[in-house]
Amino acid sequence: MPNAIFSIEAMLSIKGFAILFFGGLLIGFGTRYAGGCTSGHAISGLSNLQVPSLIAVIGFFIGGLLMAHLILPLLF
């Protein structure tokens, strides 16, 4: 795990705390709104050949790609 996000020092800084908290907020809200997470949609849902799960997984990737390619470089 990267120290810049998960060390105790990072957690105690305002920026570090905000990243962890806001990340958690997105995970909790997004999972409930989409009706499942990686296990529920990507693995179980796709295994059961569910179209809604495929839409959700496409969403997961749009979000993840935006974060990794565009937003993370602005944060660090």
Partner 1 sequence: MKLFKFLLTGFIFGIVLTKAEAVSWYRIYEMFMFQSFHMYGIITVAIVTGIIGIQLIKRKKIKDFSGNPIMIIKKEKGFTRYIVGGILFGLGWGLVGCCPGPIFILLGTGIYSIGIVLLGALIGTYIYGLLKDLLPH
Q: Summarize as ranges the residues that interact with partner 1 (CB under 8 A).
A: 1-2, 5-8, 10-11, 16-17, 19-39, 41-53, 55-69, 71-72
CB of 51 to partner 1, least distance (A): 8
- Of 60, 69, 74, nearest to 26 by C-alpha is 60
CB of 9 to partner 1, least distance (A): 10
What number of CA atoms fall less than 13 Å from residue 58's CA on the CB side?
6
CB of 71 to partner 1, least distance (A): 7
